[in-house]
Amino acid sequence: MDILLLGAQGSGKGTQADSLSAKLTIPHVSSGDLLRVVISRNTVVGQKARPYYDRGDLVPDEIMIAMFLGRLSEPDCARGAILDGFPRTVAQAEELDKALAPLDRRVDHVIYLKADPAVLVKRLANRYICRANQHSYNLVTNPPKRPGICDIDGSELYQRSDDTEEAVRRRLDIFYNQTVKLLDYYGERGRVREINAEQPVQDVTRDILRALGV
């Protein structure tokens, strides 16, 4: 089963994807996490992507498509995956469809995590993630037990370089101007379910599982 989580920055995609991944035993594949790894390792691809990432702009399709589809072709994704952050453009969605079709696969479910932009901006200002595995915390609604330390793996928590006010504004603009077009793209195929992402984390998870019928 391939499930796409669609939502603006701060809507809780990463958190929900981790829960779903554990529940459904298929991997959580996050385009942002893949990028943060190559950027922190300063690889050639990381160096190319970094300026776009830091500004909050979309990284060019050719980089993202190769990186994400490469990850999806690994053996652990053979039974499906929770897709987080990719596709973000119609061109990426078309490439994804083309890659899945020969495997007799397609995006089976699109879950749209909907929240008011004002709520998202507030969440992002309080968001910290861990160095080792990108586990996400919110200093107000979901603080770590020990300040500055990840509960799960003990690594340091930091604020993302693209969670600055200016980059956040840009990323939300891109979401509402470009990525929302995917709701039409998948909506025409009758696969989109909308979930209220302003609820507490567990309630959002419950609603997603109901929407998936599991």
Active site amino acids: 13, 88, 127, 160, 171
Residue 31 as a binder of ligand AMP (CB under 6 A): the answer is yes
Pairing mode, if any, of strands 127-130 and 2-7?
A: unpaired
Binding letters toward ligand AMP, positions 87-126, x by CB under 6 A: -x---x----------------------------------
φ, ψ for residue 3 (rounded to 5)? -120, 125
| Contact criterion met (CB below 8 Å) for 151 and 145 | yes
Distance CA 121, CA 11 (A): 10
Residue 86 as a binder of ligand AMP (CB under 6 A): the answer is yes
| Contact criterion met (CB below 8 Å) for 15 and 28 | no
Piece in contact with ligand AMP (CB under 6 A), picked from 54-62, 114-122, 125-133, 185-193:
54-62
Which residue lies nearest ligand AMP, judged by its C-beta?
Answer: 32
Measured from the Cβ of residue 202, the count of other Cβ atoms closer than 10 Å reads 9
Q: For ligand AMP, give the closer residue by CB, 53 or 185.
A: 53
Measured from the Cβ of residue 135, the count of other Cβ atoms closer than 10 Å reads 19
Summarize as ranges the residues that interact with ligand AMP (CB under 6 A): 9, 31-32, 35, 52-53, 56-59, 64, 85-86, 88, 92, 162, 171
